[in-house]
Structure 1
Amino acid sequence: MKKPFLIMLISTLGFMLTGCNFTEEQIAEGIIKDYYQAIINEDYEKAFEQLQLYDYDAGHYTEGTTLSHKEAKAFYLKKINFLKEQNYELKGFEIIEVEYEDGHSFWHHIKLKVEQNGQKFEWNEVADIFEGKLLIGERDDPYAKYRDGKMNFEIEDLKGN
């Protein structure tokens, strides 16, 4: 009698844990899709609202930014204008993999289709959710910094990419 009960208890706990993780994964995928689709649709204000904003100080990422929401939004739109000047367009994206670190922490691998000055590129990047916001991590796209949440750099200094 104890053995069937124990098996049922373990199965129920496993199902509950998997169900919780699946829900977190769905929420993350929703944020990711909202962000990339907003970039494609040129709805940059919506894209901005999806992002985790941060500063980069002495070689380390900070939690948050010293800019006000209004200042951060203005800077983000300035970064987007730089992308437009470079004839950069995100044409498509695909979530190609979800990678788990410890059964709970996970991040998504994204494949991007970008067109710049008539040339087509495929770039890969990693997206994570931090405090309900999108954090773009490792990336191939040299222009990713102009659409991510990094807030404290001089755009003019980076034109030589």
Structure 2
Amino acid sequence: MKKPIIVISFFIIPFISGCNPNEHLTKGLVEDYYNAVIHQNYEKAFEVSRIYDLGSRNTVETNFTEKEAKEFFKKKLNYLKKVDYKVKSYEIVEIQQHDGHTFIYDVSLEIQVNGETMNRREKVWPKVDHENIAITQSEDPLAKYRDGRVNFEIEEHWLKDIKKESNNTLNISDSSI
């Protein structure tokens, strides 16, 4: 009699407690990414970022090899260094579960650009089967320079994105770029 109760408890307790191993895994991916960015461990940030072409509807595909993607990622980081870009802190505000293995994380960030601090929000989509994340929506126009989006004209986008950021909170001239 004890054996059936133990077996049934094994399956019921996770449902009652709201424990989902996929949620635990995806939350870990999100935390790994933001902790890496905060500590400027961009090698780790690259490892947990989903690499895909900017503008592609499919966030899983790119024609870049891993080596090309890594080189592109490093080029993007050089642009962030020009404006002393830092993610200072993050907080997972909400987790939306769409099914047993799809989660969208709403993340609040404190970002510093050229010494000025601002708050931004973004949506992050971790994939359990690929063990990586994609930033699917962000108030931060500079997010694409720290995530896995590749295959775009960096200089062209930078000029537009830094102007957006400038219009939001900063006073940056193109001559500083």
TM-score range, shorter chain: 0.7 to 0.9
Which of 107, 111, 118 matches 2:108? Answer: 111
How far is the alpha carbon of 1:56 from its aligned partner? Answer: 3.5
How far is the alpha carbon of 1:152 from its aligned partner? Answer: 0.9
Q: What TM-score comes out, normalization by structure 2 length?
A: 0.76
CA contact 1:21–1:104 (8 Å) conserved in 2: no
- Cα gap change, 1:19 to 1:40, in 2 (>3 Å): same
CA contact 1:80–1:146 (8 Å) conserved in 2: yes
**What amino acid is the match of 1:95?**
I
CA contact 2:59–2:134 (8 Å) conserved in 1: no
Counterpart CA distance in 2 for 1:144 and 1:76 is 12
Alignment of 1:1-161 (within 5 A): 13-16=11-14, 22-56=20-54, 60-102=57-99, 104-130=101-127, 131-158=130-157, 159-161=159-161
Counterpart CA distance in 2 for 1:134 and 1:18 is 28
Counterpart CA distance in 2 for 1:140 and 1:78 is 22
Same amino acid, percent of matched pairs: 36
Unaligned runs of 5+ in 1: none
- Cα gap change, 1:122 to 1:13, in 2 (>3 Å): same
CA contact 1:136–1:148 (8 Å) conserved in 2: yes
Unaligned runs of 5+ in 2: 162-177
**What amino acid is the match of 2:160?**
G
Query: In structure 2, the residue corresponding to 1:142 is in which secondary structure?
Result: coil
Give me the CA root mean square deviation: 2.4
Query: In structure 2, the residue corresponding to 1:127 is in which secondary structure?
Result: strand
Runs of 4+ residues deviating >6 angstroms: none
- Cα gap change, 1:150 to 1:62, in 2 (>3 Å): same
How far is the alpha carbon of 1:17 from its aligned partner? Answer: 5.3
Mean CA deviation greater in 28-37 or 13-22:
13-22
Counterpart CA distance in 2 for 1:141 and 1:48 is 18
Query: In structure 2, the residue corresponding to 1:60 is in which secondary structure?
Result: coil
Mean CA deviation greater in 61-70 or 138-147:
61-70
Q: What TM-score comes out, normalization by structure 1 length?
A: 0.83
Residues 60-111 of structure 1 deviation map (CA, whole Å, 9 limit, x = unaligned): 2352211111110110111111111122111111111111224653211111
Query: In structure 2, the residue corresponding to 1:76 is in which secondary structure?
Result: helix
Counterpart CA distance in 1 for 2:66 and 2:101 is 31
